[in-house]
Amino acid sequence: MHKPIPLPEVARLSLQCLDLTSLNDGDTAADIDALCRRAQTRFGPVAAVCVWPRFVAQARSLLPTSIQVAAVANFPAGALDVVLALADVKAIVDGGGNEVDVVLPYRALMNGQAAECAGFLAQVRAASRPLALKVIIESGVLATPELIAQATQLALAAGADFVKTSTGKTPVSATEDAATVILREIAASGLAHAGFKASGGIRTVQDAGVYLERVASTLGEAALNSKRLRFGASGLLTDIEAVLGGQASAPTSSAY
C-alpha cells in the first residue's frame, strides 16, 4: 500500500502529466499562441498541448521539443467513419504532431459492432505510427463497466499507448468509477507501456489527486509520469500554479 501523495507533489506530478487543451469550435491562431505560451510555466512545462489538427504545425513551431503536440481525430462525434479519422491523422502527421487522440466509434460499439470498431482502430494505428496513440472511449456514454472494459480491451489490442476517458464534450466526462475499470484492464493486459488519460471536468489539484492515487494503487507509483498518465484539461493549470506557488488548492469538485 503506497503512502498518500502530498498535495504539492500531486500538483508537481499533475503539471508534468498535463495535456493543456484547447478544443473550442471558435479557436483561432491567437488562441493557440496563448495556449503555447501558457504551456511553458515558471514551474516547468506541461507534457503536451492538445489542439485541432489544423493548428498542429503552428503549435509545433511555437513549442520546445520537450512539449509534445497532440491533436484529435474523429472528434468529437466518434462516428464509425474511418475516412474522416484517417484524414485527421494525415493532417496531424503532416503538421509535425507527436500524438493522436482518436475517438473510438463508441455508439457503434454499443450497437454490437465490436469487430468494426477493431478494424477502425487497426487502420488508425497503422496510419499514425510512430506517433503516440490515445484512444478516447467516451466512458461517460458507455456507462456500464462491461462496455468500458470492452472498449479498453479493443483500444489496447489495437496498440493504443493510452486509453482516454472522454472528449469532454458530453454531460459525463472522467469519473473515478470509469478510471477504476480502465486501469484494471490496463493492469490485466500486462502491457508495461500502456497508460491512462483522464479527461474532462478535472479542474483542481485535489481532483487530479483522485486519479493519481488510483493509478498508483493499480499500476504502481512508477506509472506516475507522462509516459503512463495524462490529464486532459484546460482549467487545471491555474490551480496547479496556485498550489506550487504556495496557495491553497480549490476544493475537490462536486463530481468527485
Catalytic site residue from 19, 88, 134, 197:
197
Catalytic site residue from 88, 101, 161, 239:
101
Catalytic site residue from 19, 88, 161, 164:
164
Q: Please compute the mean of the pLDDT values over residues 176-190 and round it to a whole number.
A: 98
For residue 36, what is the domain's CATH number? 3.20.20.70
d(CA 204, CA 227): 22
By residue range, what is the domain housing residue 167?
A: 7-244
Beta bridge partners of 162: 134, 195
Is 134 among the catalytic positions?
Answer: no
Residue 106 counted as domain residue: yes
Residue 252 counted as domain residue: no
Residue 2 counted as domain residue: no
**pLDDT tens-digit series, residues 97-107:** 999 999 999 99
Query: What is the grid cell recorded at 227?
Result: 509516459
Average pLDDT for the chain = 96
Q: CB neighbours of 200 closer than 8 A, spacing ≥ 6?
A: 140, 165, 166, 167, 168, 169, 170, 173, 174, 232, 233
Helix residue ranges per DSSP H, 95-195: 106-110, 114-128, 139-142, 145-157, 176-189
Q: What is the pTM of this model?
A: 0.96
Is 25 among the catalytic positions?
Answer: no
Is 94 among the catalytic positions?
Answer: no
Structural domains in the chain (count): 1
Q: Is pLDDT at 256 greater than 50 in this prediction?
A: no
